[in-house]
């Protein structure tokens, strides 16, 4: 678990103090003191959507889209998208006889197995590349040694050294 900074802890404490949340939504605009305001009109009075004394919408919107947007994106990608992706991949891998619904835990396990298989394939590809590179380096080394030997033989016959 990662530790949250003090500001996030303070924000979360303030949000918990608001529980249960009072959220009112409206597309209707009412004119108050000459200004258009999103609000709901009830027989007993008026509830303003953007007034923090009437509704927790502004505070929740700020928390979700501000400080917790990264968490929301991560949750969406890691849980929702990966579950969907795993389900689609599983359907393509599994036989038609296994069309029964899988539990989320099974889908997560399937996703982990697929990722492990991809990792093993990538490691094998890198191993093959490394072996190929070592082989080519060995050939180049042999060619270099052969050219050095030829140069020494030439020097010995001519009695001169280029150095």
Residue 81 lies in a domain: no
pTM, 2 dp: 0.37
Asked if the structure places residue 147 within a domain, the reply is yes
pLDDT at 162 over 70: no
Task: State the residue range of the domain holding 122.
Answer: 103-162
Q: How many domains does the chain have?
A: 1
17: in domain? no
96-125 pLDDT tens trace: 445 456 666 776 777 778 888 888 888 888
Q: 120: which residues sit within 8 A by CB, 6+ positions away? A: none
CA–CA dist 98, 146 (Å, integer): 63
Q: Is residue 74 part of a domain?
A: no
């Amino acid at each position: 678990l990662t530790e949250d900074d003090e500001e996030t802890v303070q924000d979360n404490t303030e949000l918990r103090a608001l529980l249960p949340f009072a959220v009112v939504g409206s597309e209707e605009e009412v004119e108050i003191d000459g200004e258009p305001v999103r609000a709901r009109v009830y027989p007993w009075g008026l509830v303003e959507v953007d007034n923090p004394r009437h509704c927790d919408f502004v505070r929740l919107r700020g928390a979700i889209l501000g400080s917790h947007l990264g968490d929301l994106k991560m949750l969406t990608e890691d849980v929702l998208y990966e579950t969907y992706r795993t389900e689609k991949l599983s359907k393509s891998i599994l036989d038609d006889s296994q069309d029964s619904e899988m539990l989320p835990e099974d889908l997560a396990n399937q996703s982990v197995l697929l990722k492990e298989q991809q990792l093993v394939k990538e490691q094998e590809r890198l191993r093959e590349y490394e072996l190929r590179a070592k082989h080519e380096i060995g050939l180049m080394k042999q060619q270099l040694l052969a050219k050095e030997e030829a140069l020494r033989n030439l020097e010995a016959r001519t009695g001169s050294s280029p150095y």
